[in-house]
Amino acid sequence: MFKKWILIYLLQFFLITTIHAFSYDFPDSKCPEEEALRKCLNQSYIKGPIYFRDNESSYSTDLDVEYNRRVIYFPTAFVHAKDVIDVQNAIKCAAKLKYPIVARSGGHSYEGFGIGDKDCYLVVDLANLNQINIDVNSQTAVVGPGNRLEPIYNKTSEHVFAFPAGTCPYVGVGGLITGGGFGYLNRKFGMSSDNILDAQIVLANGTVVHNAKNYPEIFWAIRGAGNAGYGIVTSFTLKIHPIQKTTTVIDLLYDFDQAPLLLSVMNKLGSKIHQNITLLISIDPEHLGIHGVYLGSANELQNHLQEFIKLSKPKNITYTENTLYHTLVDGMEGPDVNGYYKAKSYFIDFKGLSDEGIKSLMNFLKSFECEVYSVILLVGGGKVNEIGRNETAFVHRGFLYHMEIKITLDSENSEMCLQDFDKFSQEFRRNYTYYESYQNLNDRQLDNWQCRYYAENFERLVKLKQKYDPYNLFNWNQSIPTNTKISCN
């Protein structure tokens, strides 16, 4: 029972007792320039299907892809690109008509930015760009941005290789990889974005950059801010890593009131734990546990965690050996659990969360009226922090762990819970956590997001935006702007 619970919670899904049958109240009016866009797309000989609102069945199916029902918008159309030329032609139409355009990979943006940030965007859905080509000799994989993580885990594991990516196997790789990519292998191999070796990208003027590495500025930007408005990536060349055949999962169960003890032990020992181990703490009002992944055998893992287990005093310990693929994927409820969600992100420095911070978190979790849980991912002592803050656009280095708090709402109208969550988050962030936040857990209400997501890299990103998308074609609530008065230095 514990294993099932911890897997579900760690992979950011909730059990939903009622199956929601979603229906949509389509806007009565057409979008501006809709007929001109329709004509341009038709004349561009795009090979993939295109669904406007008047194709209600297929259009509704496209909306159903969205993970977070709290932020559903109504795009003008969905273009299901078959190849890079389809992407190129869709962008050319958008540029010609000055039409807002976004790319969607897996539909897991917490603020729905994969379909824009309001109605009447043109969405380029990348699900058909799902090639996976593994080259064992060069230790690389060429993958399309429309893949979910699960098939990439599968293909790499078949060759006894690994790629460091997210904890949820059903997230789309396009947004996750370009925005960072936290998961169970970061301490060993770095962020997902750190393992981008090259990429093909279509820019705002319709130009195809076949080798981003030949454009050092673009290559720098897409490793951490590639989902923030520089173009549409149509393929990645990724570094993959040889691993042992055996991987071990450890599940540790604690009483809720052991949270201060557990986090104090994590603060003390976390950065000293072997790099082959990643630990994820999950806390909700009724459960406290750790789900850990180790690249190696159970016997080796026991030796590495002996002191941690002794000091943290778990009530139950379970070791499970398997292949890496089954370690990362088995036990999932399914590829999509749509619901009404809000999430917030925090980084904790090497001092760890203070006693007062732990108390504040526990009180919030116990008293909050909507469904809530928190996950804390150990980062310190690993590869992520061996890379400089400015080597790529992913700036978040030098932290002990990353923390997420996520709430599930009864409906899209649970305003009281949203307000209480935001109030707690502001106080908690101000008093107990570092200033920065993780851009892949986007939060529309986050103040000064430019500096929280990108810190001192922000102004450089703005200059690159001016150069490669001067007319701000790729534009939504938290995309990189073409001009700014904000300084993060």
The owner of tokens 């106080």 is 427
Residues in contact with 39: Cβ distance below 8 Å, sequence separation at least 6, in sequence order:
none
Mean pLDDT throughout 374-390? 97
Tell me how far apart the alpha carbons of residues 26 and 116 are, in angstroms, rounded to a whole number.
16
**What are the backbone dihedrals phi and psi of residue 330, each rounded to the nearest 5 degrees, phi first?**
-60, 145
Percent of the chain scoring above 70 in pLDDT: 94
Percent of the chain scoring above 90 in pLDDT: 91
pLDDT at res. 14: 35
Pairing relationship of beta strands 247-254 and 132-135 according to DSSP bridges:
unpaired
Tell me how far apart the alpha carbons of residues 177 and 197 are, in angstroms, rounded to a whole number.
12
Name residue 121's amino acid. Y
Mean pLDDT throughout 406-426? 91
Q: Is 370 left (phi over 0), alpha (psi -120 to 50) or beta?
A: beta
pTM of the model: 0.94
Instruction: Name the nearest CA neighbour of 279 among 289, 287, 406.
Output: 289
CB atoms within 10 A of CB 93: 23
Mean pLDDT throughout 417-446? 97
Band of pLDDT at residue 489, cut at 50, 70 and 90: confident
3-class state of residue 14 by DSSP:
coil
Q: Which domains does the chain have, with CATH numbers?
A: 34-125 (3.30.43.10), 132-242 (3.30.465.10)
pLDDT at res. 335: 58
Model confidence pLDDT, tens digit, residues 64-101 = 999 999 999 999 999 999 999 999 999 999 999 999 99
Model confidence pLDDT, tens digit, residues 185-233 = 999 999 999 999 999 999 999 999 999 999 999 999 999 999 999 999 9
Band of pLDDT at residue 142, cut at 50, 70 and 90: very high
pLDDT at res. 336: 60
Radius of gyration in angstroms for the set of CA atoms belonging to the chain, rounded to a whole number: 22
The rounded mean pLDDT for the chain is 94
Mean pLDDT throughout 7-34? 62
Model confidence pLDDT, tens digit, residues 236-259 = 999 999 999 999 999 999 999 999
CB atoms within 10 A of CB 371: 19
Band of pLDDT at residue 330, cut at 50, 70 and 90: confident
Distances in whole angstroms, Cα of residue 134 to Cα of each of 11, 142, 154, 156, 266: 26, 7, 11, 7, 37
3-class state of residue 97 by DSSP:
helix
pLDDT at res. 3: 46
Mean pLDDT throughout 330-359? 88
